[in-house]
């Protein structure tokens, strides 16, 4: 008898970068219903994104579902962030900004201001800048500078560019 659950085996495959195998195991977890479905959906999106299969829309769908369904605050925050990240790389800056803003608002509401929060604020500002909303972007770059020494130099440069 296997001492590991399907979820444990999926996580092991994911850590070992066997993304196709991990994806199948995570999808089996959804049918089992024994795990937080949102967390499992997030991992499905991650496996697709990291697996290099070019299925960005499918990964995006998983991330959006994960953010909507999970009971885990970090997973919800990360689901919004990853969805924004994929949309931004598809040059869909308005939709990306919406996802990053959801991440920012959720982190503030739930008191989960982590590095994902800082990254979400920064990339939200980048999306605003790409839309020509420079004054708003500057305000968000300044917020990033207050909370993230790591992002401070790039925020200053982008603020000057605005």
Angle of CA points 74, 80, 86, to nearest 5°? 130
Q: How far is 73 from 81, CA to CA, in rounded Å? A: 12
Question: Over its length of 162 residues, how does the chain's per-residue pLDDT go in tens digits?
Answer: 556 788 989 999 999 999 999 999 999 988 877 788 889 999 999 999 998 766 788 999 999 999 999 989 999 999 999 999 999 999 999 999 999 999 999 999 999 888 999 999 999 999 999 999 999 999 999 999 999 999 999 999 999 999
The model's pTM = 0.91
Q: What is the pLDDT of residue 4?
A: 77
Region class of 132: left (phi > 0), else alpha (psi between -120 and 50), else beta: left
Angle of CA points 2, 37, 117, to nearest 5°? 115
Q: What is the pLDDT of residue 5?
A: 86
Q: What is the pLDDT of residue 56?
A: 85
Q: What is the pLDDT of residue 155?
A: 94
Q: What is the pLDDT of residue 119?
A: 97
Percentages helix, strand, coil for the chain (3-state, rounded to 5) are 80, 0, 20
CA-derived radius of gyration, the chain: 17
């Amino acid at each position: 008898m296997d001492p590991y659950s399907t979820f444990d085996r999926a996580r092991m495959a994911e850590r070992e970068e066997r993304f196709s195998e991990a994806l199948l195991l995570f999808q089996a977890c959804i049918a089992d219903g024994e795990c937080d479905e949102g967390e499992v959906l997030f991992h499905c999106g991650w496996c697709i994104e990291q697996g290099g299969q070019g299925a960005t829309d499918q990964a995006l769908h998983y991330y959006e579902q994960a953010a909507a369904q999970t009971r885990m605050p970090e997973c919800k925050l990360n689901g919004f962030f990853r969805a924004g990240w994929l949309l931004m790389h598809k040059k869909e800056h308005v939709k990306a900004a919406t996802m990053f803003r959801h991440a920012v608002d959720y982190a503030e509401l739930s008191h989960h201001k982590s590095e994902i929060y800082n990254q979400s604020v920064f990339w939200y500002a980048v999306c605003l800048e790409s839309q020509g909303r420079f004054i708003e972007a500057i305000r968000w770059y300044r917020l990033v500078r207050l909370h993230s020494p790591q992002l401070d130099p790039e925020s200053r440069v982008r603020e000057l560019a605005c």
